[in-house]
Structure 1
Amino acid sequence: MFENQPKALYALALANTGERFGYYTMIAVFALFLRANFGLEPGTAGLIYSIFLGLVYFLPLIGGIMADKFGYGKMVTIGIIVMFAGYLFLSVPLGGGTVAFGAMLAALLLISFGTGLFKGNLQVMVGNLYDTPELASKRDSAFSIFYMAINIGALFAPTAAVKIKEWAETSLGYAGNDAYHFSFAVACVSLIVSMGIYYAFRSTFKHVEGGTKKTEKAAAAAVEELTPQQTKERIVALCLVFAVVIFFWMAFHQNGLTLTYFADEFVSPTSTGVQSMAFDVVNLVMIVFIVYSIMALFQSKTTKAKGIACAVILAAIAVLAYKYMNIDGQVEVSAPIFQQFNPFYVVALTPISMAIFGSLAAKGKEPSAPRKIAYGMIVAGCAYLLMVLASQGLLTPNEQKLAKAAGETVPFASANWLIGTYLVLTFGELLLSPMGISFVSKVAPPKYKGAMMGGWFVATAIGNLLVSVGGYLWGDLSLTVVWTVFIVLCLVSASFMFLMMKRLEKVA
């Protein structure tokens, strides 16, 4: 899985892991902070939150355009510094007045602009590593590893945010509002770590940073010159992919809206027995250890390496057994905790997906990146088919709310339906997201790599804005109708991809 990849990949991936850990730690509690610290209504807090997310995904387009002119490495460095300033503003408790509110808005602008300079351009640099003929075949697997690194940060971030806030309250005696700032400070520390990793290993990837005559000449020599017609064909092909993935992200990011509403309103708020173990991040980490150790056991070439893998597997199983034997009664299940399953599945399933596609590649049967994207749309539709099955016999959201208010006994769905839905959605994500990023890095005309990677994030941003459609459907409509809307969107998008497949594979 990790063999024969350049060291620069791991340096860039780890630098990104640190940044993403800080970002998701901040995101995990930010909406709650807005309401607690400034007394905002849910709608107002949601508006600020959504605008911030929109900027985070729109501004990589500006960052990419700037990087195409001034260099990717330079923009990444400036981006880290700007983000650090933003998180630092958030880390300082200034109260809940006008000055504090203004500082918070300034911090959000800095974070979003810094992310715009950092995120897309780092991914362009990863893609540039694989522009040479000897590494070109490893591009897709490289982005799978890179994407897994992102989700390692996302997996631990929610738990870290909550635990650090609780520690500030109980051990240091800070009030609830001020305790939130300790969660934001984590992002500052994580960015320092990211910058340290970036500069410690910069020598391994300096040649793909761009922005100097030497690197520009080397890049020009490494890629073929494109005619204006070829450039146009590539840009059109990328725009077609962007149009499709909008609807994937619209469906996928229901995890923060209608799927969370479902968890809150239609899933039992408590869990017992084996099922309750799924809601402890330590148990999830042990499963990840087992998966990776099993892969290492089969791939290792020495007895020592196989022995270490077996020891890790036994140790992880022992931890899980101990946790199981010490389950005590019911475990409270809050709706947001379900969102930890997506990054967990990404981290756990990436080596499996890479092994499958590696085997197909060895036989000459690996699907092209555009086909993987189309398959990802179909798989996402299948995830919502699970939700249709989960919703059989349940009331509409408004009926459920009225029944609860009247003290009536209401039907609940098993948490396993939702856990399974996140599993299937993650399969779709692994087919689409890292493969899409890889496709952009490969197909984008050399002069417009930054801008095209920015276009990928703009498509993501538009999809995020369309997530709100799910909120408007949530009410008097049956749950089956709500989920069917997303099934139809995914299948129509997949059909469009297959219709355009020849055109897309021509430039792939």
Structure 2
Amino acid sequence: MFEGHPKGLYALALANTGERFGYYTMLAIFTLFLQAKFGFTIDQTSTIFGGFLAMVYFMPLVGGILADKFGYGKMVTAGIVIMFVGYLLLAIPTGFDKMGMGQIMMFSALALIAIGTGLFKGNLQVIVGNLYDDPRYSAKRDTAFSIFYMAINIGALFAPTAATKVTNYFMAKAGFTYNPQIPALAHQFLRGEIKPEGLEQLNNLAISQNFTGDLAQFSTAYIEQLAQSYNYGFAVACISLIASMAIYLGFQSTFKHAILSSKQTKAAGVNHEPELTPQQTKERITALLLVFAVVIFFWMSFHQNGLTMTYFARDYTSNIADGITRIGFDVWNLVLIIIAVYAGFSVFQSKTSRAKLISGGIVALSLIALVIKYMAMPPAIEIAPQIFQQFNPFFVVALTPVSLAIFSSLAKKGKEPSAPRKIGYGMIVAALGFIIMAVGSMGLASPDELKDVGGVSDVLVSPNWLISTYLVLTFAELLLSPMGISFVSKVAPPKYKGAMMGSWFAATAIGNYLTSIIGYLWGPIPLWMVWGVLVACCSISAIFIFSIMKKLEKATGDA
């Protein structure tokens, strides 16, 4: 899996790990911050969240067009600097001013993060693809992007824990603990909109927090402290970007030849890319655009993890984990499982008895450490809603070698599906993931019915419903995302590489913006119907891509 790749892959992957760690730390608490700080409604939060994600993934189109002209390396460096300034603005606490400087700084920060990501994200992946234009490495392109994608998720794996630890630390310093009902009730109280049952609930919660002032003081103090704690959580991204820049510049010699655009390599007389006829160029771009149309609906569904699935974790899922379920809510337990999985694969893939023995020893030590840590855990642990977001990156990292082993075996038999076919299968699997959510939501009250008591249900479901959904959605993601990025890097006409990779992200941007539509449904209709809409979207997309499969495979040479 890791053998036979250029060194530049690992440098680029690590640089991306740092950037993604910061981004997902911010995203883990972003919607919670919006509602806690500004008292935004579900609709307002959904609009801001969807709009921000849309801009983050639309800007790589602009970044790709600029890179095709000026080179990929310059755009990546500029992107890191701009993102750093954005995260710094987001990390600065502001007072309790709903319409003042706090919102101005927040929206300015979001704009800078989106612009910086646009210059960084797509162009870094084009550089990875350029490494595999070399005939010595071209056969390992799909594996390379799976490794690269795994590195992204290593960063994302630690992000929810980092966000939670930082925010809990600063809340505790102020003498508070996190409670999901308090922000909504506090804002209702301060606006004079609270109902009698909500007032009673807020008073009880204030007593449980050992607050001695009146409810107005409690509401203001709690909101300000929670928002400030989230600000400090955002500051983690600034630190991670410094690490990314150090890695990118420190190891640039390993990929320096891949940072030039097609235009620049031609000018230097080192361009070896094949020329395509106008008809071939048209066919490839058409095929890519059709695939982009399909993945819009995947990302609309998948990125509910930061929106409606976080609401579900906060308002409908038990905040207590016990039994074997506890094991997944400590990130270091997940790391030990990942080590055991990779060492287990190494046992079978190692070429010498000594290497097999060492790998077997690592498996045994990891499992022993896991058992010891599990036995030392309390019988029940309290969990924050954002912590569920660590399961997707964990499953990505743990299952990547499984995915690669399966497709490698199929490739040896000449039966590996084409990239468009994998994307179609991914849409089917995504539909299955939301069927799990629909079943788990049967009989639960709608969010509108819970509004007057702080929005949290008195009937809470097991955390295993969300964990199972994340597992199934990860299978879908592994079929679609790294394969899709590899597909674009391989099929895109050379002179449009940056623009086509940017277009992949632009399609993602549209899907991300459409996440807000599902957010608008969060309230007036039963929960199972919310998830049913996503099941329908994924199923229709799968039907569409399979209906045009022959055309796609012909145009792209069964890529």
* TM-score relative to the length of structure 1: 0.91
Give the conservation status (yes or no) of the 8 Å contact 2:46–2:516: no
Please give the root-mean-square deviation of Cα atoms over the aligned residues, in Å: 2.9
Match of 1:422 in 2: 470
- Quote the offset at 1:229 in angstroms: 1.3
**Paired residues for 1:380-399 under 5 Å:** 380-392=430-442, 394-397=443-446
Give the conservation status (yes or no) of the 8 Å contact 1:279–1:337: yes
- Quote the offset at 1:472 in angstroms: 3.7
Note if 1:401 corresponds to 2:450.
yes
Residue 118 of structure 1 aligns with an amino acid whose one-letter code is: F
- Quote the offset at 1:217 in angstroms: 5.2
Distance 1:51 1:441 in 2: 27
Residue 81 of structure 1 aligns with an amino acid whose one-letter code is: V
Match of 2:532 in 1: 484
Note if 1:440 corresponds to 2:488.
yes
Match of 2:332 in 1: 282
Residue 437 of structure 1 aligns with an amino acid whose one-letter code is: I
- Quote the offset at 1:389 in angstroms: 3.7
- Quote the offset at 1:251 in angstroms: 1.7
- Quote the offset at 1:314 in angstroms: 2.3
Note if 1:451 corresponds to 2:453.
no
Stretch deviating more after TM superposition (332-341 or 421-430): 332-341
Match of 1:239 in 2: 289
Q: Percent identity?
A: 60
Stretch deviating more after TM superposition (182-191 or 441-450): 182-191
Residue 9 of structure 2 aligns with an amino acid whose one-letter code is: L
Match of 2:147 in 1: 145
Match of 1:316 in 2: 366
Give the conservation status (yes or no) of the 8 Å contact 1:22–1:188: yes
**Paired residues for 1:54-453 under 5 Å:** 54-93=54-93, 95=95, 98-168=100-170, 176-211=226-261, 215-216=265-266, 221-392=271-442, 394-397=443-446, 401=450, 410=459, 412-453=460-501
Distance 1:120 1:235 in 2: 17
- Quote the offset at 1:87 in angstroms: 2.1
Stretch deviating more after TM superposition (425-434 or 487-496): 487-496
- Quote the offset at 1:269 in angstroms: 3.1
- Quote the offset at 1:350 in angstroms: 0.5
Give the conservation status (yes or no) of the 8 Å contact 1:273–1:327: no
Stretch deviating more after TM superposition (474-483 or 248-257): 474-483
Q: Give the direction of change, closer, same or farther, for the CA distance of 1:220–1:367 in structure 2 (3 Å limit).
A: farther
- Quote the offset at 1:252 in angstroms: 1.5
Give the conservation status (yes or no) of the 8 Å contact 1:61–1:451: yes
- Quote the offset at 1:171 in angstroms: 6.5
- Quote the offset at 1:63 in angstroms: 0.5
Residue 106 of structure 1 aligns with an amino acid whose one-letter code is: S
- Quote the offset at 1:362 in angstroms: 1.7
Stretch deviating more after TM superposition (383-392 or 122-131): 383-392
Residue 447 of structure 1 aligns with an amino acid whose one-letter code is: K
Q: Secondary structure at the match of 2:280?
A: helix
Q: Deviations over 1:46-75 (max 9, x none)?
A: 543333222111111110110011111111
Q: Secondary structure at the match of 1:223?
A: coil
Q: Give the direction of change, closer, same or farther, for the CA distance of 1:478–1:303 in structure 2 (3 Å limit).
A: same
- Quote the offset at 1:182 in angstroms: 3.1
Residue 512 of structure 2 aligns with an amino acid whose one-letter code is: N
Distance 1:257 1:324 in 2: 30
Q: Give the direction of change, closer, same or farther, for the CA distance of 1:441–1:419 in structure 2 (3 Å limit).
A: same
Q: Give the direction of change, closer, same or farther, for the CA distance of 1:263–1:123 in structure 2 (3 Å limit).
A: same
Q: Secondary structure at the match of 1:165?
A: helix
Distance 1:42 1:406 in 2: 11
Give the conservation status (yes or no) of the 8 Å contact 1:385–1:484: yes
Match of 2:221 in 1: none
Give the conservation status (yes or no) of the 8 Å contact 2:123–2:498: yes
Residue 238 of structure 1 aligns with an amino acid whose one-letter code is: L
Distance 1:109 1:263 in 2: 28
Give the conservation status (yes or no) of the 8 Å contact 2:28–2:389: no
Give the conservation status (yes or no) of the 8 Å contact 1:132–1:222: no
Q: Secondary structure at the match of 1:133?
A: coil
Q: Give the direction of change, closer, same or farther, for the CA distance of 1:234–1:219 in structure 2 (3 Å limit).
A: farther
**Alignment: residue pair count:** 506
Give the conservation status (yes or no) of the 8 Å contact 2:438–2:532: yes
Q: Secondary structure at the match of 1:222?
A: coil
- Quote the offset at 1:357 in angstroms: 0.8
Give the conservation status (yes or no) of the 8 Å contact 1:61–1:455: yes
Give the conservation status (yes or no) of the 8 Å contact 1:73–1:210: yes
Q: Give the direction of change, closer, same or farther, for the CA distance of 1:157–1:322 in structure 2 (3 Å limit).
A: same
Residue 370 of structure 1 aligns with an amino acid whose one-letter code is: P
Distance 1:77 1:17 in 2: 15
Distance 1:253 1:297 in 2: 36
Residue 125 of structure 2 aligns with an amino acid whose one-letter code is: Q
Match of 2:519 in 1: 471
Residue 22 of structure 2 aligns with an amino acid whose one-letter code is: G
Distance 1:426 1:117 in 2: 27
Q: Give the direction of change, closer, same or farther, for the CA distance of 1:212–1:475 in structure 2 (3 Å limit).
A: closer
- Quote the offset at 1:220 in angstroms: 6.8
Q: Secondary structure at the match of 2:160?
A: helix
Give the conservation status (yes or no) of the 8 Å contact 2:51–2:512: no
Residue 154 of structure 2 aligns with an amino acid whose one-letter code is: I
- Quote the offset at 1:224 in angstroms: 1.1
Give the conservation status (yes or no) of the 8 Å contact 1:226–1:445: yes
Give the conservation status (yes or no) of the 8 Å contact 2:42–2:519: no
Give the conservation status (yes or no) of the 8 Å contact 1:391–1:480: yes
- Quote the offset at 1:169 in angstroms: 5.4
Distance 1:152 1:29 in 2: 18
- Quote the offset at 1:186 in angstroms: 2.0
Give the conservation status (yes or no) of the 8 Å contact 1:58–1:457: yes
Residue 258 of structure 1 aligns with an amino acid whose one-letter code is: T
Stretch deviating more after TM superposition (495-504 or 262-271): 262-271
Give the conservation status (yes or no) of the 8 Å contact 2:18–2:244: yes
- Quote the offset at 1:94 in angstroms: 5.0
Distance 2:19 2:171 in 1: 25
Q: Deviations over 1:215-273 (max 9, x none)?
A: 33579742211111111111111110010001111122222333334434443332211
Distance 1:450 1:408 in 2: 47
Q: Give the direction of change, closer, same or farther, for the CA distance of 1:298–1:494 in structure 2 (3 Å limit).
A: same
Stretch deviating more after TM superposition (401-410 or 81-90): 401-410
Please list every run of 5 or more consecutive structure 2 residues that lacks an aligned counterpart in the other structure.
Answer: 176-223
